[in-house]
Amino acid sequence: MDPSSFPKLSEIEEKKLQSIMADPEKKYKLFKFLQIKFDEFDLWYKNEEKIENQKISDKSQINFLQRLISRFK
């Protein structure tokens, strides 16, 4: 992803970010927070992917059962 496509920070946001990055403790807390949020998103995404794969599997099983039933009609 191209960083130039990200929305620009306002002047206040830029100053706030610079003050956080200048303080090692605040910087550490920010990165820990972002890491937790990323992990939560990653877990959610993997769960959604698993649900989608299960739906696909369920559909294929239903199709198989429908074909099987139709043979015995």
> What's the total number of domains in the chain?
1
- Answer yes or no: is 64 within a domain: yes
Residue 61 lies in domain = 36-73
CA distance 22 to 32: 16
pLDDT tens for 18-69 read 999 999 999 999 999 999 999 999 998 998 888 888 888 888 888 888 887 8
Assess whether pLDDT exceeds 70 at residue 7: yes
Angle at 45 between CA 42 and CA 51, to 5 degrees: 140
This prediction has a pTM of 0.54
Considering only CA atoms, which of 34, 37, 30 is closest in space to residue 16?
Answer: 30
Q: How many CB atoms lie within 10 A of CB 41?
A: 10
Structure tokens at 43: 């877990």
- Answer yes or no: is 6 within a domain: no
* 15 sits in which H/E element: helix 11-22
